[in-house]
Every structure is written in C-alpha cells, then in structure tokens.
Amino acid sequence: MEFEEAIRRLEEIVRRLENGLSGDMGLEEAINLFEEGIALHKMCTEKLESVAQRIERLVEKEGKVPEE
C-alpha cells in the first residue's frame, strides 16, 4: 500500500470511529478498525523514517540543502 493511500485509510478509520462511538458501531467492529489503524500507523511511521534517512544520506553526500 502506498503512503498516501494509507493516510487516506487512516483518516477514514478515524472518522468512522468518531462517528461510530456514538452508538451505531459494535465493539468488535471498533476494535477491528482500531487494529487496522495501528498497523497503518506503524507502516506510515516506518516509511517516514526511511525517507528521513534517505534525505539525510543525500544531504551528507551532496552537501547542504540550499536555504531560501
């Protein structure tokens, strides 16, 4: 799953949990959504960390990033 798709799904899960907790969502469904959200959060965090490391390596290799 692409990062952007994962973020969109996380946003959808948050909306569903916020709306569902008012009474029309069962506990099992809420737990399943929460578990999916945790997994997506982990994936997104790992991707961001990987990108940050890649940027650091590029900056070290090529020099400072120009300031505007």
Instruction: Give tens-digit pLDDT for 12-58.
Output: 999 999 887 666 888 899 999 999 999 999 999 999 999 999 988 88
CA distance 47 to 37: 15
Instruction: Retrieve residue 19's tokens.
Output: 């709306």
Contacts of 48 (CB under 8 A, 6+ apart): 3
Encoded tokens for 41: 């959060």
- Measured from the Cβ of residue 13, the count of other Cβ atoms closer than 10 Å reads 19
Task: Label residue 67 by pLDDT band (50, 70, 90).
Answer: low
DSSP label at residue 28: H
